[in-house]
Structure 1
Amino acid sequence: MSALRFLWGVARTPRGAVSAAVLVLVILCALFAPWLAPYDYAIQNLPGANTSPNAAHWMGTDEFGRDLMSRIIHGARTSLSVAITAIGISVVAGMTLGAMAGYFGGIFDRVVTAVVDLTWSFPEILIALLLIAIIGTGTESIIIAIAIAYLAQFTRLTRAQVMALRSETYVEATVNLGAGHAHVIFRHLLPNAITPVIVAGMLATGDAIILEATLGFFGLGAQPPTPSWGAMMSSGTAQIFIAPWIILFPGAAIAVTVIAINLFGDALIDALDIRNRLREV
């Protein structure tokens, strides 16, 4: 309940309120896409291809006569599910690795740090493309690729937090009382290190949406007829002078969603005073 009250307090700020409203709208579209979409996203109507926005099709139709608004609504489900699942996996794995490296130190810490620094020296898009080239295309492959691409930042952030916390008096007292390593890590260190990681994960979700759209633009993500904002923009490039709405509306959906995530994340950072806390680490 305290967490809900805190989020309500963040959402009551002007920046938080606007961004929260947009995010709630996008999430509702993703959850209730089959009921909110006015048409079936896969039904083609070739005589009505490239129809401009009108009363029947508020965002027009694509090159196959499919309702663009319906595809964008269903595309929200694809983009959000891929981004949230991938970042969720990355956060859990990164926090586990970072906590173990920061707590135990030694050769394990050096190995984890070396691998993390190596992967962090490459752009996420390059790592994702390399992994997809190995494991193949598709939604599942995109999730794995994005999760691994963003693993480094959560591992490093958690490691830094745990290294700062492990010398605290309550941790030393817990160890002296005979608590096991797992108890210390998962009951005392991670709960106190989780806040900056969760905020970083939320901000990374916006980046993951862009990365998923980029991979979808190259035809490496969700395969037809499953709608994806990136794939829709890719098909719209060939129609940009004939039917520019095919590329403009999916692009606007990506931009609005990512901006809303970043604004809400910034509101969380200000409310939690994350920047000052990280300076102290």
Structure 2
Amino acid sequence: MVRCSNNLVGILNFVVFLLSIPILAGGIWLSQKGSTECERFLDKPVIALGVFLMVVAIAGLIGSCCRVTWLLWTYLFVMFLLILVVFSITVFAFVVTNKGAGETVSGRGYKEYRLGDYSNWLQKRVNDGGNWNKIRSCLAESKVCSKLEAKLIDVPVNNFYNEHLTALQSGCCKPSDQCQFTYISATNWTKTAGTHPNPDCQIWDNAPEKLCFDCESCKAGLLDNVKSAWKKVAIVNIVFLVFLIIVYSVGCCALRNNKRDNGYGHTGYKP
């Protein structure tokens, strides 16, 4: 029973090693086959994650099964740091995403989004010109608005107002209801004369490559998507954190076995 911890660490790390192969392959595929900058943006992080998991798994596998104590020490140290990082990221994700939500509009099937409702940290990220230019380019390449236009072609205004739009569609593809523009189509509106309390009304442009991609409502719609995604990631992180703690605990038992073997002068693998 004492040796079970070494065997279990070996099995768990072998599984992690197998999982790292498709992750690494996916990152390489993105770098070679990604058709847009937005798709290729993820290739380096995915490749780095695949390599990291592979190296850590090999270290844990050799350290536990071959009784290499110094390698197992290194493995456990890295695992401890990883637990701290995952825990910190999880807490940070919950803190950053605890603010912000779409506002229900009377008589509308969609919600509208205000940038000021979200956390200051997220606002600073999207208000940075360099960041937003890249995000804006990705939104344009995703054709989120042209797909909406094609879906709702020749739809009457009342049907459009009852449509359930996503946060990005509501924030980036149409002007705010406060603008009181005249509806022509989902992404085509006639501006009304006069000044408007919402600065997004002045930014709106019917050109397909402009629309409301530079509006605060578009940035807020993106943050609403980020908020939902981060909350899901945080939940997954909690499960991953429990897994890491279990593996770390079993690894500590394996290290104790190695030290006991070394203390009695035993070498090599003992089942």
TM-score (norm. length: structure 1): 0.30
Of Structure 1 and Structure 2, which has the larger fraction of its residues in strand? Answer: 2
Of Structure 1 and Structure 2, which has the larger fraction of its residues in helix? Answer: 1
